[in-house]
Amino acid sequence: MLGSWKYALLYIGSGLLANALSMAYYNYHMEPTLTVGASGAIYGVYGGFLYVALLQRQFMDDASRKTLYAILMVGLVFSVIVDNINWMAHLGGLVTGFFIYGILIRLTRGR
């Protein structure tokens, strides 16, 4: 749906912003934390899918929408419950991916 360069922008942009939000959160709470991984970027892609599921319903069938909701609910619950998972990066990736996708499709509409 996006094409390769817009998908790359979504993935990399949400990954960078998710990690920046995570660092800001943990630094604010005086908890020095070092994390690694691409999970924030992956949740950014989920954020793009969430945008489609909520605001572009014609591009996603009901079964796929329900599957996405289930994956997100389970993933976010486990992100909070399980120790040593950077839940802030997951949540940050989801939110930033949602907004980056929305911006990308608006800026490149009709091109």
- Looking up tokens 């419950």 gives 81
DSSP code of 70?
A: H
Please check the confidence at residue 110 and state whether its pLDDT lies above 70.
no
Angle at CA of residue 37, ends 85 and 80, nearest 5°: 15
How far is residue 17's CA from residue 77's CA, in Å, rounded to a whole number?
21
pLDDT of residue 8 exceeding 80, the answer is yes
What is the Cα–Cα distance from 40 to 91, expressed in whole angstroms?
8
- Mean pLDDT for 3-7 is 91
Residue 32 has pLDDT above 80, yes or no: no
Tokens of 90: 């997951």
The amino acid that residue 94 corresponds to is: L
Chain segment 36-89, per-residue pLDDT in tens: 789 999 999 999 999 999 999 999 999 999 999 999 999 999 999 998 888 999
Instruction: Please write the tens of the pLDDT for every residue from 16-25.
Output: 999 999 988 9
Catalytic residues: 39, 90
Number of residues that this document lists for the chain: 111
